[in-house]
Structure 1
């Protein structure tokens, strides 16, 4: 028996319209039919960018449920996401940010059926950070595709930023998911069937975004519940400063290698299991 495809639930920020279009195409190929999305734009985003993103979604048949503007407080995404999940209704929800492209260890409907058969109410993933071959934070040409522009995948999020690399990628509608989709209190994903979350964050403009986040978190313009967000931003900015504005792709800690959205990396299931089961949050996070 094939399960009903999950609703994709996402809060979309000011990404490039071609990235949003590629993201929608990716999930449609996985079998997603229903997109329950909202846009949230901080005040610095020009009105023309907002209109371009809304138009890009509508051009491919995705109508946003809601559009809001204002500071990107730490609680903003979670509150908007939960309202979207309520609207999405019963069943499974696929949770993905607009720079996250999931790659499952099998067809999506089989992943869900396996979770149901084994009594899991969530499915987990691990971030795989995608960067350019040089580590430079550059843009990309839609006709070339993301794999060509950002061919390397590695573990930057937790090994440099010391941030949580875990993701809840699928959850039953009545299961609570924490801020950032990193965990689900009271529920543990199957550690042997973790999705690769290709994380295309490290693009042109991300340094300015991180600098803005650091400044607004430091002065309280963007509210944060812990020191983590500011500390993570400062770690990245320090690294970029030490390496001429680039990510050091030769640092063995990050294990960068060539990967593709067409197939899981070699030995992914064992690699992801080892990282997720060994990972522990920093003392200030208050997470488990």
Structure 2
């Protein structure tokens, strides 16, 4: 069984249709999608977010996995996902780990890759972020009626001078493997085997809502919980100074097939 575990903020509920359709085509059998609402938003906001998420998911016969009402923290989110992982999956299953704005492109037919991975006792796939932006690099409004791929056709890498972050991801792993907050590395102990070809994790973050969404991370309570708030400040400062993201074009890198330890 292929599972997908994801928790999204209310501002990203409009991504659900394209997200579900993309991963359904890959072969995901069970979606565990939750919505997270900050407590200070109030009960009405919680009810509104739940209703909107349920409405979108019901079109695909998917039930909302839960509502997380607590201040955002990648550690709290990780604990929530660990609970779902323990309750809903078996060790022989596979889990896709994807944020609502992350769309995976695998180096081959996904189900065939999983069969190969099982035959070679591979534990997980590794990937790299591919940032996506509008053709002119500006922050384009997302139109749910149009494909993300055509709205944000430009591939780029964020400069380390803006965000010295981690571009590595664990997009898919066996269900008995823990991953760290942010899905950047496996958290399970012991030597693990991964498929050598990198998965492209296309990141559709850069629309006209990004400054508003990241501004929450500049508040004192968030800064106390998450020391990487500085990255959000750097991004906001850069966008407000320039009016756009200045991308470096990321040409396709030839990938090798095989198994690495």
Mark the CA change 1:20 to 1:157 in structure 2 (over 3 Å): closer, same or farther: farther
Mark the CA change 1:255 to 1:23 in structure 2 (over 3 Å): closer, same or farther: same
Query: What's the offset of the Cα at 1:61?
Result: 1.1
* Deviation string, structure 1 residues 205-247 (Cα, Å, up to 9, x no partner): 11011111122xxx1246525x2x2121122122113312x11
* C-alpha distance in structure 2 between counterparts of 1:48 and 1:157, whole Å: 37
Equivalent residue in structure 1 for 2:36, among 15, 26, 40: 40
Equivalent residue in structure 1 for 2:10, among 11, 14, 33: 14
- The Cα RMSD (Å) is 2.2
Are 1:73 and 1:223, in contact at CA under 8 Å, matched by a contact in 2?
no
Equivalent residue in structure 1 for 2:118, among 116, 119, 127: 116
Query: What's the offset of the Cα at 1:127?
Result: 0.7
Partner residue of 2:25?
29
Mark the CA change 1:86 to 1:268 in structure 2 (over 3 Å): closer, same or farther: farther
In the alignment of these two chains, the number of paired residues is 248
* C-alpha distance in structure 1 between counterparts of 2:125 and 2:78, whole Å: 18
* C-alpha distance in structure 2 between counterparts of 1:157 and 1:172, whole Å: 32
5+ residue gaps, structure 2: 257-261
Query: What's the offset of the Cα at 1:172?
Result: 1.4
Partner residue of 2:246?
248
Query: What's the offset of the Cα at 1:159?
Result: 6.4
Alignment of 1:207 onto 2:211 = yes
Query: What's the offset of the Cα at 1:23?
Result: 0.1
Greater shift after overlay, 79-88 or 12-21? 12-21
Are 1:21 and 1:56, in contact at CA under 8 Å, matched by a contact in 2?
yes
Mark the CA change 1:175 to 1:208 in structure 2 (over 3 Å): closer, same or farther: same
Return the TM-score normalized by structure 1: 0.78
- Which one has a larger percent strand, Structure 1 or Structure 2? 2
Return the TM-score normalized by structure 2: 0.86
Are 1:93 and 1:171, in contact at CA under 8 Å, matched by a contact in 2?
yes
* C-alpha distance in structure 2 between counterparts of 1:159 and 1:191, whole Å: 30
5+ residue gaps, structure 1: 258-265, 271-288
Partner residue of 1:279?
none
Are 1:9 and 1:35, in contact at CA under 8 Å, matched by a contact in 2?
yes
Partner residue of 2:259?
none
Query: What's the offset of the Cα at 1:187?
Result: 5.1
Alignment of 1:54 onto 2:54 = yes
